[in-house]
């Protein structure tokens, strides 16, 4: 599994940064990509990757500002002609998303050749997706904006085949039968399967935020605690905490301060304002090295599994 950034910029795109779109690559695990936000020119950005639109089966929109949704109608339309025919798509987002999509398609006389289901989310809603529980967390951004917390199910540990061989049980279909049961019998003796299973493989946790002021409440921090990947905006990079708050956004040093005890494994900073030069970003990146990474377009980050 990996996380791909198709657009890392804030509201105004630059030559180097498109507006926000992310992909969770679950192809090896679940044969699909999960798209989060759809900045303008999304369908063009995908052309520079190996992502197949037909394998995007679920889309999550954090909020309805244009830099997060203006690429959606074009992507939905092009997916219809890029292998998506007949393959259902679910679209999750704030109230008003269905009306906007339906109006856009009606006025433009656009049609799709696959089923599209639009689910308008609510605060603290829980969604079941593949082997994920997805929690919807409300944010503070002037309009409805959400974080989506993807928590993968834990996976049973690997069968310790060396121990089975020591008992004289040779490889074959019986190994699968043993792993599927609580006990098994060999030469008249009953064994507990758990004694032949390795440590549980912990499911990954990915917390992706829409635009927001910083939230330091205990309830919120507990929700994102122990994330394998924490993705958060920092539209402001120059210690402009008050200005960020006034504009319903976040500042990078404030983000690092609030999250210092959250115990995340990786923190990815996104939604970077176009006011900052490459040199500005290089300097800030050096100052936060080891604590967070400032994303660039087409940045890819592996998300490995963990053994308890």
- Binding residues, by number, are 63, 65, 67-68, 141, 211, 271
| Helix/strand/coil (H/E/C) assignment for every residue in 26-50 | CHHHHCCEEEECCCCCHHHHHCCCC
Q: How far is residue 55's CA from residue 130's CA, in Å, rounded to a whole number?
A: 13
Q: How far is residue 153's CA from residue 131's CA, in Å, rounded to a whole number?
A: 6
| Residue from 67, 144, 228, 297 carrying the catalytic annotation | 67
* Structure token digits, residue 131: 């082997």
Residue ranges for the known binding site for Zn(2+) are 63, 65, 67-68, 141, 211, 271
Q: How far is residue 25's CA from residue 42's CA, in Å, rounded to a whole number?
A: 16
Q: How far is residue 64's CA from residue 66's CA, in Å, rounded to a whole number?
A: 6
Which among 279, 261, 175 is positioned nearest to 218, based on CA atoms?
261
67 is catalytic: yes
Return the active site residues.
67
């Amino acid at each position: 599994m990996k996380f791909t950034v198709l657009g890392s910029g804030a509201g105004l795109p630059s030559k180097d940064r498109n507006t926000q779109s992310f992909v969770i690559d679950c192809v090896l695990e679940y044969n699909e990509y999960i798209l989060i936000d759809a900045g303008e020119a999304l369908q063009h950005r995908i052309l520079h990757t190996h992502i197949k639109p037909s394998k995007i089966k679920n889309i999550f929109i954090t909020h309805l500002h244009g830099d997060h949704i203006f690429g959606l109608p074009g992507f939905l339309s092009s997916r219809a002609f890029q292998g998506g025919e007949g393959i259902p798509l679910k679209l999750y987002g704030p109230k008003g998303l269905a009306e906007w999509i339906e109006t856009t398609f009606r006025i433009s006389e656009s049609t799709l050749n696959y089923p599209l289901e639009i689910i308008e989310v609510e605060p603290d809603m829980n969604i079941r997706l593949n082997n994920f529980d997805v929690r919807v967390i409300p944010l503070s951004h002037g309009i409805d904006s959400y974080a989506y917390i993807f928590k993968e199910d834990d996976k049973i540990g690997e069968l310790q085949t060396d121990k089975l061989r020591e008992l004289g049980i040779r490889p074959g279909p019986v190994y699968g039968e043993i792993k599927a049961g609580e006990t098994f019998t060999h030469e008249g003796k009953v064994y507990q399967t758990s004694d032949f299973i390795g440590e549980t493989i912990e499911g990954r946790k990915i917390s992706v935020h829409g635009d927001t002021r910083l939230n330091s409440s205990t309830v919120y921090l507990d929700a994102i605690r122990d994330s394998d990947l924490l993705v958060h905006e920092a539209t402001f990079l120059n210690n402009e905490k008050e200005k960020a708050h006034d504009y319903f956004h976040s500042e990078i040093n404030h983000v690092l301060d609030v999250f210092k005890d959250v115990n995340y494994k990786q923190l990815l900073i996104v939604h970077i304002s176009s006011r900052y030069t490459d040199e500005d970003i290089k300097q800030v990146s050096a100052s936060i090295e080891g604590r967070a990474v400032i994303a660039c377009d087409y940045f890819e980050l592996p998300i490995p599994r963990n053994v308890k």
